[in-house]
A and B are shown apart, each in its own frame.
Chain A
Amino acid sequence: MSQRTLPLLIINLGGEMIYILDQRLRAQDENDDKTQRGVWTDDDRKRVMNDIVGTMFNKTFLEELLRPQDLYSHRALRTVLTRIAHASIMRLNLASMDKLYDLMTMAFKYQIVLCPRPRDLLLITFNHTDTIKELVRDNPSLVNQINEAQRQLIEVYTPLSDGEFQLIRHTLLVLFQDMQIRVSIFLKEKIQNPNGHFVLQTSGPVPHGFEVPGLIRWFNAKGREVRRTRFPSGGSYTSAIRQASFDLSGDRVTLLGTNMYSTPSPEDMDSPTTSTWKPKQADTTPNPLATEELNLLAKLMGGMEVQKLLNVEAGFRVNLLALDQEEEEEEGIVISEGTGHQSSRVINIQVTQDQLASTELARIAGEFDEEGSQTEGPGNKGDDLLAMMDEL
Chain B
Amino acid sequence: MSKMYHKEKSIPIKSSASALYNNLSVLRIAPRCLTYFTVVHANVVNMVSASWDGLNYSHRQLQSKEGNVTTSSSLIMQAAWCVLPSRDLLVLTSQKGIQMYESDGSIMVYWHALDTPETPTAKAVFARGISAVREKHICVGVSSGSVLVFDVPSKGSNITLSEVLEEHKEAITDMASECSGSLECIADLVSADDSGLLCVWKSGEDFQLLNKIPGFDTSCSSVKLWKGTVIAGYGTGQIRLYEAVTGILHAEVNAHARWIYSLDIAPFTGLLLSAAEDSWVRVWHLSLTPETNSVEIEHMYNECVTDTQICGAKFCDGDGYAFAVTGYDLSEIIRYTQA
Contact = CB atoms under 8 A, between A and B. Distances in A.
The answer to whether A and B interact is yes
Interface of A: 1-4, 68-70, 113, 116-118, 161-164, 166-167, 169-171, 173-174, 177-178, 180, 193, 197-200, 202, 206-207, 209-219, 221, 223, 231-235, 237
Given A167-B124, A213-B257, A232-B302, A219 B250 contact: yes
B124 A163 contact: no
A178 B75 contact: no
Contacts of A170: 18-20
Contacts of A69: 120
Interface in B244-259: 248-259
Interface string B118-152: 00111110100000000000000000000000000
Contacts of A163: 170-171, 173, 193-195, 219, 235
Interface stretch (B82-90, B176-184, B304-312, B317-325): B304-312
Interface in B285-313: 297, 299, 302, 304, 306-309
A210 B73 CA distance: 36
B95 interface: yes
A99 B280 CA distance: 35
Nearest to A240: B257
Overall SS of chain B's interface: loop
B35 interface: no
B199 to A, nearest CB: 16
Nearest to B171: A163
A209 B251 CA distance: 19
Nearest to A203: B257
Overall SS of chain A's interface: loop
A175 to B, nearest CB: 9
Contacts of B97: none
Given A3-B120, A3-B121, A212-B254, A199 B307 contact: yes
A216 B219 contact: no
Contacts of B194: 161-164
Given A170-B19, A211-B237, 6 more contacts: A163-B219, A166-B219, A210-B257, A217-B251, A218-B250, A235-B280
A177 B258 contact: no
A234 B302 contact: yes
List of 6 A-B pairs having minimum Cβ-Cβ separation, nearest first: A163-B194, A231-B299, A211-B254, A163-B219, A234-B302, A173-B19
Contacts of B19: 169-170, 173-174
A117 B193 CA distance: 18
Nearest to A235: B257
A213 B299 contact: no
B218 interface: yes
Interface in B230-284: 235-238, 248-259, 278-280
Contacts of B299: 216, 231-232
A160 to B, nearest CB: 9
Nearest to A164: B194
Instruction: Name the residue in A163, A164, A174, A215 with the highest tally of chain B Cβ atoms < 10 Å from its Cβ.
Output: A163
Contacts of A174: 18-19, 42, 75
A2 B124 CA distance: 5
A162 B309 contact: no
Contact of B237 (A70, A166, A206): A206
B122 A202 contact: no
12 contacts: A1-B124, A113-B309, A118-B235, A166-B259, A169-B19, A173-B19, A174-B75, A197-B329, A202-B257, A202-B304, A213-B280, A218-B250
